């Protein structure tokens, strides 16, 4: 009898399908047990406030972008009208137009893109290479040299700025001056005002925050089991070949993370490019030629309108900032997934 009661009730039966209904508490009571408790109410409340908080902070982060976007479409007239807040009354593309034509946006964009890509790829590979050496090989002085990596992280290059420049202006290797060589190449100021310093720093893992990248890569490689390399050695690969053919493909998420960081930090960098390069000779997005000079046509427009035009000048600067980060933002949209994944895998937890 009992068995018959608990057995499922057959609702509908076809050739290869059967719908059954178990005897259970009515829907109303089930819902009440699930959603009617104080625990559930608290959970809702917590997630509600959490959502509001995150939304507020997101607004704080995103608002400058919104305001930059809206002012970038404004004409000088909009800045004189007190009722214009975020939506321009006289929308125009003048700012974009003249920043592109008169300040050479696309040329600067191309140069910055090439420079950032090249340095980011170099930094990614070099930091992975060096980090792997620190992680997997025990040799005398390993700890001391790693300490020097940390030192290069702690001593900011801003403090060393003048002697860094002098080193590249009067280059020498172990006391042997290279000045005759640079003069033969037609350079009057050593390697100053060329891209050599930036690439040299990238190649030797001394560029901006490369200590951090070496550190991240080392932590990651320490988490990779040694058996992997051993089996590769048994198969007849040498350590270098193992690194490039086995280890490097394994570490793609980390490499993407390092690439993303190196790329975007080089892209927005003002310190190194302005220190090693004479801004007037190089068309870069971060060079003063692009964003510090107001296009003359826009100046004329502002003068025609009259009134206090300092907000308009700031707006033009903001528009150029927007144009600088726009490609980065697009790249970030596609790659941000890897950033979080990569850092999560980095083994920072096992620090």
What lies within 8 Å, CB to CB, of 306 at 6+ separation is none
Shortest distance (Å) from residue 184 CB to another protein: 14
Shortest distance (Å) from residue 258 CB to another protein: 13
Residue 310 lies near another protein (rule: CB under 8 A): yes
Q: Taking a C-beta distance cutoff of 8 angstroms, is the pair 315, 79 a contact? A: yes
How many angstroms separate the Cα of 178 from the Cα of each of 173, 232, 287? 7, 43, 28
* Backbone φ, ψ for residue 13 (5° rounding): -140, 120
Longest dimension (CA), the chain: 106
For the segment 211-240, give every residue that binds another protein (CB under 8 A).
Answer: 212, 214, 222, 239-240
Q: Taking a C-beta distance cutoff of 8 angstroms, is the pair 338, 257 a contact? A: yes
Pairwise CA distance, residues 205 & 211, whole Å = 7
Pairwise CA distance, residues 213 & 132, whole Å = 12
Pairwise CA distance, residues 5 & 22, whole Å = 10
Pairwise CA distance, residues 76 & 306, whole Å = 9
Shortest distance (Å) from residue 102 CB to another protein: 19
For the segment 172-201, give every residue that binds another protein (CB under 8 A).
Answer: 173-174, 179, 189, 192, 200-201
Per CB under 8 A, the list member of 100, 118, 196, 339 interacting with another protein is 339
For the segment 2-41, give every residue that binds another protein (CB under 8 A).
Answer: none
The site for another protein, by CB under 8 A, has a size of 116
For the segment 93-132, give every residue that binds another protein (CB under 8 A).
Answer: 126, 129-130, 132
For the segment 245-284, give every residue that binds another protein (CB under 8 A).
Answer: 260-261, 264-265, 267-271, 275-276
For the segment 125-164, give every residue that binds another protein (CB under 8 A).
Answer: 126, 129-130, 132-134, 136-140, 142, 145, 148-149, 152-156, 158-164
For the segment 69-88, give every residue that binds another protein (CB under 8 A).
Answer: 70-71, 78-86
Q: Which stretch binds another protein (CB under 8 A): 5-13, 22-30, 297-305, 306-314?
A: 306-314
Nearer Cβ to another protein (8/64): 64
CB atoms under 10 Å from CB of 204, counted, come to 13
């Amino acid at each position: 009898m009992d068995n018959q009661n608990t057995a499922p009730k057959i609702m509908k039966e076809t050739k290869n399908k059967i719908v059954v209904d178990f005897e259970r508490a009515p829907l109303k009571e089930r819902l009440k047990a699930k959603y009617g408790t104080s625990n559930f109410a608290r959970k809702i409340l917590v997630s509600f406030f959490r959502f509001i908080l995150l939304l507020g902070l997101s607004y704080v982060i995103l608002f400058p972008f919104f305001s930059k976007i809206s002012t970038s479409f404004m004409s000088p007239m909009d800045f004189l009208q007190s009722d214009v807040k975020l939506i321009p009354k006289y929308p125009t593309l003048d700012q974009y137009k003249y920043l592109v034509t008169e300040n050479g946006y696309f040329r600067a964009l191309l140069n910055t893109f090439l420079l950032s890509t090249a340095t980011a790829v170099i930094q990614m590979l070099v930091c992975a290479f060096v980090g792997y050496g620190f992680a997997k090989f025990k040799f005398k002085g390993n700890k001391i040299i790693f300490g020097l990596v940390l030192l290069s992280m702690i001593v900011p290059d801003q403090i060393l700025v003048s002697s860094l420049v002098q080193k590249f202006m009067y280059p020498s290797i172990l006391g042997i001056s290279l000045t005759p060589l640079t003069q033969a190449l037609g350079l009057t100021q050593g390697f100053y005002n060329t891209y050599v310093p930036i690439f040299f720093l990238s190649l030797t893992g001394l560029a901006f925050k490369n200590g951090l990248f070496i550190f991240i890569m080392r932590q990651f490689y320490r988490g990779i089991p040694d058996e992997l390399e051993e089996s590769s050695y048994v198969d007849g690969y040498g350590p270098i070949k193992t690194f490039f053919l086995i280890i490097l493909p394994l570490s793609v998420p980390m490499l993407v993370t390092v690439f993303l960081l190196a790329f975007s930090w080089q892209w927005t960098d003002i310190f190194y490019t302005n220190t090693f390069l004479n801004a007037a000779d190089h068309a870069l997005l971060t060079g003063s030629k692009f964003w510090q000079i107001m296009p003359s046509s826009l100046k004329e427009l502002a003068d025609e309108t009259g009134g206090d035009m300092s907000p308009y000048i700031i707006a033009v600067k903001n528009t150029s900032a927007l144009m600088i980060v726009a490609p980065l933002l697009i790249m970030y949209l596609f790659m941000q997934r890897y950033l979080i994944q990569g850092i999560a895998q980095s083994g920072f937890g096992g620090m």
